[in-house]
Every structure is written in structure tokens, then in C-alpha cells.
Chains A and B, each alone.
Chain A
Amino acid sequence: AQSVTQPDIHITVSEGASLELRCNYSYGATPYLFWYVQSPGQGLQLLLKYFSGDTLVQGIKGFEAEFKRSQSSFNLRKPSVHWSDAAEYFCAVGARSSNTGKLIFGQGTTLQVKP
């Protein structure tokens, strides 16, 4: 069965510092991979996605993520965090074998930004 693990429930970084949010997945083949961001009381916004090709993908708001097949990971990074990046971040996987578009989400990582 597919699963997604985000090992860090809560992360605090200083504004201007670099950020890495971890995501590990369990799946029999290479899945589709996504990162979403959710501000309090809001829906989810797609940051970036990977489905094939270059393993380093660029997203919106200066985020990037790297797919590492050997580690079953898809970590999200940002070189310099802004206070507006404080939110909850979700990693998600979708099955290539299915055309449903159903996603499995991790538990999320809450990012706090210190001034």
C-alpha cells in the first residue's frame, strides 16, 4: 500500500535561513509526487509536482524539490525563507497505475518562521 511519511511535525527557522522539509514515500514503483501548502483555515495550494524527467523540480514561491529514487524521498527546499512562508506543508503521492488522480497525503509539517 502507498504511504507518505513526513518525519518532522513542526519546524522553526529564522527568516532568511534555508529550509528543507522531508518527505519519504512507500510505493512499488515511481509515483507522481506533489507538495502542497496550506495557510490556516484555507484549502491547499500546489507548490510543485514531479512525474518524470529532471529529478530537481522548481515550483512557485521560490521552492524546489528533489526526487531521489534510491532514498524514496522528495524533499522540499527553499534557500531563504520569508515570514509569509509560515504555513503547513503536505507531501502527497499519486499512483501511476491508476487514472483516478487520487492522492495519498502525509501528516504535514508546520513551518514557523522567526523574525
Chain B
Amino acid sequence: DTGVSQNPRHKITKRGQNVTFRCDPISEHNRLYWYRQTLGQGPEFLTYFQNEAQLEKSRLLSDRFSAERPKGSFSTLEIQRTEQGDSAMYLCASSDSFMAPHYGYTFGSGTRLTVV
């Protein structure tokens, strides 16, 4: 078990470009969460999946953002037409649905996005 893996670790993109991040959760975990963390702030919830179903989305997730988890394993987060305000650390976390919500979950190391 290698924990939650996120790729890439860093991404620099020009404003207006599309970017996609990948998250590989712990293999036996059926819940997967995406959070966004801006500088000097705590993480903010974006969305979560149970298996392949996306069950909740934050209003922070504008229509430029889309997340998928097609086979209930890895997940991708795509941002279209990036803006400078999208610059942040994007964190993925996973848990077992039996353990959530009261056991917390395991975070990946994050993908840091810089939009120039």
C-alpha cells in the first residue's frame, strides 16, 4: 500500500489553458475526496465520490471544473480555461465508507497549480 498518490506534484500553466490532475487512492478505499487549499488557508471541500458516483459538489466547483472517477478507482480533476484565481494546492484524500466520516481520511501530497 503506497498511500494516496497524486500526479503531477507541480503544474505551471498559462491562463486560459486546460489542466488535468490525477489521484490514485488507497486501493481498498471506496471514497475519494478533492479539496483545494490556497496560500495561508485551510483546505476547502470541492467534491467527493463513493465508488464511481459523484455524490456531492461544493459551490466552489464552478462549471469550469469537472471531476470523474470512471471505474471507482483513480480520479481526475480537470480545470478548463484556467484563471489566476485557480492557483492553489489541490488535495485528494480517500477513505473507506464504513470508517468515514468519523475516522478521518488519508491525504495525498497534493498537486500545486500555478496559473501565470
**Size band of the B side of the interface?**
20 to 34
Is B13's beta carbon under 8 Å from chain A? no
Cα–Cα distance between A5 and B68 once the two chains are bound (Å): 32
Asked if B91 contacts A100 (CB within 8 A), the reply is: no
Cα–Cα distance between A4 and B56 once the two chains are bound (Å): 21
In chain A, residues 35-64, which have Cβ atoms closer than 8 Å to a Cβ of chain B?
36, 41-46, 49, 51
> How many pairs of residues, A versus B, come closer than 8 Å at their CB atoms?
76
Chain A residue with the shortest CB-CB distance to B91: A43
Number of interface residues of A (CB under 8 A): 28
A102: contacting residue among B4, B48, B102, CB under 8 A: B48
B104: contacting residue among A46, A98, A104, A108, CB under 8 A: A46
B43: contacting residue among A94, A99, A101, A105, CB under 8 A: A105
With a cutoff of 8 Å between Cβ atoms, the chain A residues found around residue B104 in the complex are 34, 36, 46, 49, 103
Chain B residue with the shortest CB-CB distance to A34: B104
Cα–Cα distance between A101 and B104 once the two chains are bound (Å): 8
Asked if A105 contacts B42 (CB within 8 A), the reply is: yes
Is A107's beta carbon under 8 Å from chain B? yes
With a cutoff of 8 Å between Cβ atoms, the chain A residues found around residue B91 in the complex are 43-44
With a cutoff of 8 Å between Cβ atoms, the chain B residues found around residue A104 in the complex are 45
Asked if A92 contacts B42 (CB within 8 A), the reply is: yes
Cα–Cα distance between A32 and B103 once the two chains are bound (Å): 9
Chain A residue with the shortest CB-CB distance to B4: A43
A-B residue pairs, 7 tightest by C-beta? A105-B42, A101-B100, A101-B101, A43-B107, A51-B102, A44-B107, A43-B109
Chain B residues with a Cβ under 8 A of chain A = 4, 6, 31, 33, 40-45, 48, 55-56, 91, 93, 95, 97, 100-110, 112
Chain A residues with a Cβ under 8 A of chain B = 4, 32, 34, 36, 41-46, 49, 51, 90, 92, 94-96, 98-108
